[in-house]
């Protein structure tokens, strides 16, 4: 049995660990709430864009825009959205598993230091890596998105796909691969926006006038769509990160509390054994003296 001094030292260490994990749990819970609010705040914008496109779709020629043109896929473009820090359970590991399942030629862009480190460690073709703060401002996400769109238009990559942790609820974050470009049609464009905003079909039957013309409006809206859609995926990833970290820290705190109880019981047993041993030694000494 360990000495009481060693057990006291372990108890102090576990108490400090529990205090740290509890603080991290509270911070993650606060950040998760903000990330969820940011994701919900973007839905009205997606709804208005979908309404405009629904009115625009019958008036445009889809074959002329480069973001709608399909070509043979030789090299996939993958945007991997991970965290900058660890202590978030299996969140990043699940994303890395999806990356390792990609066997076709691909070029990668990373958002988050964990993803950049993994891609470099596994010697994959990384074109660039970026960091995005916990607040995930639109201008921060816009930079890597425009970088990938430029590569797509130049022909360096033939697709734009996003691997990210999709937020389902506080306990469940699903690692998914989401194709973004090329769009097969404006209908897909509208369908994605509907799914993002969580709304039904467009019912406004007013006759709308688009200036200078419908094709010009479509050419301007499609880049906005790509930026906005990937931004929404990054917001979902941020909510997933904070949820996973909150759950991981709560589990660590609960385990520390349980371990603290076991150590306290062990300390009491060791202390009681020491007292009993001292009483026996005193009694034996008194008996020998008599």
User: Tokens representing 5?
Assistant: 């001094």
DSSP 243: H
Which residues does 94 contact at the CB level (< 8 Å), separation at least 6?
165, 173, 175
| C-alpha span between 85 and 91 (Å, rounded) | 11
Phi, psi torsion values for 233, nearest 5 degrees: -65, -40
Could you tell me if 131 and 109 are in contact, meaning their C-beta atoms sit under 8 angstroms apart?
A: no
Which residue in the list 88, 175, 226, 234 is annotated as catalytic? 88
Could you tell me if 82 and 51 are in contact, meaning their C-beta atoms sit under 8 angstroms apart?
A: no
117 C-beta neighbours (distance < 10 Å), count: 14
Q: Give yes or no: 88 in active site.
A: yes
Phi, psi torsion values for 175, nearest 5 degrees: -75, 120
User: Tokens representing 54?
Assistant: 């629904």
Residue 180 CA, chain-centre distance (Å), reads 18
| C-alpha span between 161 and 183 (Å, rounded) | 11
Which residues does 178 contact at the CB level (< 8 Å), separation at least 6?
161, 162, 163, 164, 233
> How many Cα atoms sit within 13 Å of 241 on the Cβ side?
27
Q: Which residues are catalytic?
A: 88
């Amino acid at each position: 049995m360990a000495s009481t001094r060693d057990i006291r030292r372990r108890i102090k260490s576990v108490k400090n660990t529990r205090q740290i994990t509890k603080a991290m749990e509270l911070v993650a819970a606060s950040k998760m709430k903000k990330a969820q609010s940011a994701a919900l705040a973007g839905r009205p914008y997606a709804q208005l864009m979908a309404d405009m496109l629904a009115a625009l779709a019958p008036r445009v020629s889809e074959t002329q825009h480069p973001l709608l043109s399909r070509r043979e896929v030789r090299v996939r473009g993958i945007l991997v959205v991970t965290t900058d820090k660890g202590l978030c359970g299996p969140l990043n590991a699940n994303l890395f598993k999806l990356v390792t399942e990609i066997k076709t030629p691909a070029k990668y862009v990373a958002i988050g230091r964990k993803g950049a480190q993994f891609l470099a460690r596994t010697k994959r073709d990384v074109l660039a890596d970026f960091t995005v703060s916990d607040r995930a401002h639109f201008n921060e996400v816009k930079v890597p998105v425009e970088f990938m769109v430029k590569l797509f238009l130049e022909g360096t990559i033939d697709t734009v796909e996003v691997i990210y942790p999709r937020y389902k609820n506080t306990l469940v974050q699903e690692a998914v691969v989401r194709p973004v470009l090329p769009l097969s049609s404006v209908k897909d464009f509208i369908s994605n926006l509907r799914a993002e905003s969580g709304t039904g079909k467009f019912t406004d039957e007013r006759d709308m006038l688009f200036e200078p013309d419908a094709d010009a409006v479509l050419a301007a809206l499609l880049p906005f769509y790509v930026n906005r859609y990937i931004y929404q995926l990054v917001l979902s990833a941020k909510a997933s990160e904070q949820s996973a970290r909150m759950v991981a820290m709560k589990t660590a705190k609960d385990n520390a509390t349980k371990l603290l109880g076991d150590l306290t019981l062990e300390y009491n047993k060791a202390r009681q054994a020491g007292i009993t041993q001292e009483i026996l030694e005193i009694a034996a000494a008194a008996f020998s003296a008599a």
